[in-house]
Amino acid sequence: DQQVKQNSPSLSVQEGRISILNCDYTNSMFDYFLWYKKYPAEGPTFLISISSIKDKNEDGRFTVFLNKSAKHLSLHIVPSQPGDSAVYFCAASETSYDKVIFGPGTSLSVIP
Amino acid sequence: GAVVSQHPSWVICKSGTSVKIECRSLDFQATTMFWYRQFPKQSLMLMATSNEGSKATYEQGVEKDKFLINHASLTLSTLTVTSAHPEDSSFYICSAETHGTETQYFGPGTRLLVL
């Protein structure tokens, strides 16, 4: 069974508006969460992360929110830009390990 | 559904030996499988893309004679690290997707330690 879930395979957003990508996980041992962005024919690149001691981490236009009790996190991109169009992967790991478990990804299209 | 497994999850080997890692899609047919090398809590480096029944496409800088990839069926791809050296020690992760989708399902990874 998938430990990291991204239930929306795709999302379309108008340029300048907010993009919200959601992620749910089942393993309560996860305490470090990451978002990766992937363009076609390339490997996923690291975008932003958050540890379980925080509920929010912000980096420029990207903000990640973590709700541990709900085992849910989300990535907010504001304002969205056409160059943000990519597949976004949510990932999680346990502190003791480097191994990262990935969700299936959400394809974001930002429409000019 | 949509589970990808890797075997083994851990392998320790001596320098100079070869190691084979299997990637299987358990409940769907994977027309394309990807092999990545993962650096701790950083981006994944795409090594190669393999389509069932054809030769793998390797990324620039990845030695195809060292990292042999075989995608023999729609549910199995293998990565063989030949003549492994300590610098090959890393996490190797595969992912699989079905033709026509951008959804990739990642395996749990294989940690390789070369002594």
SS3 B86: helix
pLDDT band for position A19 (cuts 50, 70, 90): very high
Min Cα–Cα distance to chain A from B7, Å: 15
What is the average pLDDT score of chain A?
Answer: 91
Bridge-based pairing of strands A106-111 and A10-14 is parallel
* Residues 6 or more apart whose Cβ sits within 8 Å of residue A64: A33, A35, A48, A49, A50, A56, A57, A58, A73, A74, A75, A76
Write the burial class of residue A75 (CB in 10 Å: 0-12 exposed, 13-18 middle, 19+ buried): buried
Q: How many CB pairs under 8 A join A and B?
A: 58
Q: How many CB atoms lie within 10 A of CB B16?
A: 10
Residues of B near A (Cβ–Cβ under 8 Å) read 2-3, 36, 38, 40-46, 49, 91, 95, 101-106, 108-109, 111
Closest CA to B31 of B107, B104, B97: B97
Altogether, the residues listed in chain B come to a count of 115
Closest CA to B46 of B56, B38, B54, B36: B36
Residues of A near B (Cβ–Cβ under 8 Å) read 1-2, 9-10, 32, 34, 36, 41-46, 49, 87, 89, 93, 98-102, 104-105, 107
Residue of A21, A100, A109 to mutate when probing chain B, most B C-beta within 10 A? A100
Q: H or E element: which one contains B67?
A: strand B67-73
CB < 8 Å to A45, chain B? 43
Q: How many CA atoms lie within 13 A of B109 on its CB side?
A: 21
- From first to last of its 115 residues, chain B has per-residue pLDDT tens of 678 899 999 999 999 999 999 999 998 888 889 999 986 656 678 899 988 888 899 998 999 999 999 988 889 999 999 999 999 999 899 998 877 666 778 888 899 999 9
Is pLDDT above 60 for A42? yes
- Whether the CB-CB separation of B5 and B107 falls below 8 Å is answered with yes
Q: What is the pLDDT of residue A81?
A: 97
Is pLDDT above 80 for A74? yes
Q: What percent of chain A has pLDDT over 90?
A: 73
CB < 8 Å to B10, chain A? none
